[in-house]
Amino acid sequence: MKRVIVTGAAGFIGSNFVRRALETQPDWHLVGYDALTYAGNVQNLAGLEQTGRFEFVHGDICDAPAVAALFAAPVWGLINFAAETHVDRSIHGAAAFVQTNIGGTQVLLDEARKHGLEKYVQVSTDEVYGSLGPEGRFTEQSPLAPNSPYSASKAGADLLVRSYWRTHDLPAVVTRCSNNYGPYQFPEKVIPLFITNLLEGKQVPLYGDGLNVRDWIHVRDHCDALISVLARGTPGEVYNIGGDCELTNVALTHAILRELGKDESMIRRVKDRPAHDRRYAICADKIATQLGWSPRVDFATGLAETVRWYVENEAWWRAVKSGEYQKYYELQYGGR
């Protein structure tokens, strides 16, 4: 069995990754590690311990002794999802972003180096490249030019990972993915926020002129890409991951409205986000050529499936929106 530590396992992509890896990698034993911030929810991992190949440990990536304890048994791989992830929150306060995204990554890198492992994967974002004009796509050679405290902290972590590979030969890989959507996404990000607002009969707040472009990828495709990087990625490399699905926010909003049978009167135009990146688009040729991965979920199908998931899991998002799941955790695990 390959023992794989998954930090940030109780969040959106981490929990989807654990589920997907349990399905497709029979020789992996996964240890989920998560601080359970406002975005982490143990209910996202409900039932997975029963597979006998998953366990959950509550802890912070900034806590070096707690991270060291994860290495008490040999670790084959570590994949780091743990982060503060919302751009708008980073505009209101950057401290937690620097602490977790940079400081926490440094702790993980030091413990990985001290104890040894076969592969370290840093899950990063296309946002480290900054903003594109109407033409072109980000490649792994694009310069880092982050515009928000969130993306700046992710870029800082990417550079730290690179330095540990160069300086200490740590077998580390960085991935940079475009915007994800799918089940279990926290309803502060645009797709689940808009779906759940509409289900509650509320309007959806569209920033600025709504012509900003994002390159959407279904979370299952992202997780499959990460599994191939963890298994077969070359240390020292960066791999871009993208959905090849560029949409303006206006087009995205109309697609969500259509799916829920609502009209344009549900759109509320609001003030733009400061330094709002205009366009992201990923060139994912490298991972396609070198690791044979490409996205499979078509956007219309993936969006319909996602809307259905939020319709069918109203208790999940209502609890998350109201902070109820924190109480569930205290009942289940006896406090924090």
Q: Is 13 a residue that touches ligand NAD (CB under 6 A)?
A: yes
Number of residues that bind ligand TYD (CB under 6 A): 12
Binding-site partner at residue 40 among ligand NAD, ligand TYD, none, CB < 5 to 8 Å by type? ligand NAD
Single residue of 75, 87, 247, 282 touching ligand TYD by CB under 6 A: 87
Tokens 């969006």: give the residue: 303
Minimum distance from CB of 241 to ligand TYD (Å)? Answer: 15
Q: Is 128 in the site for ligand TYD (CB under 6 A)?
A: no
Q: How far apart are the first and last CA of the chain?
A: 31
Q: Which stretch binds ligand TYD (CB under 6 A): 23-31, 116-124, 199-207, 223-231?
A: 199-207
Q: Smallest distance from the beta carbon of 6 to ligand TYD, in angstroms?
A: 22
Q: x/- binding map, residues 304-333, to ligand NAD, per CB under 6 A?
A: ------------------------------
Is there binding between residue 218 and ligand NAD (CB under 6 A)?
no
**111 with 166: CB under 8 angstroms?**
no
* Residues numbered 123-162 forming contacts with ligand NAD, rule: CB under 6 A: 123, 125, 154
Q: Which residues are catalytic?
A: 126-127, 150
Residues that bind ligand TYD (CB under 6 A): 87, 179, 189-190, 193, 205-207, 212, 214, 249, 273
Residues that bind ligand NAD (CB under 6 A): 7-8, 10-14, 34-37, 39-40, 60-62, 81-85, 100, 104, 123, 125, 154, 177, 179-180, 186
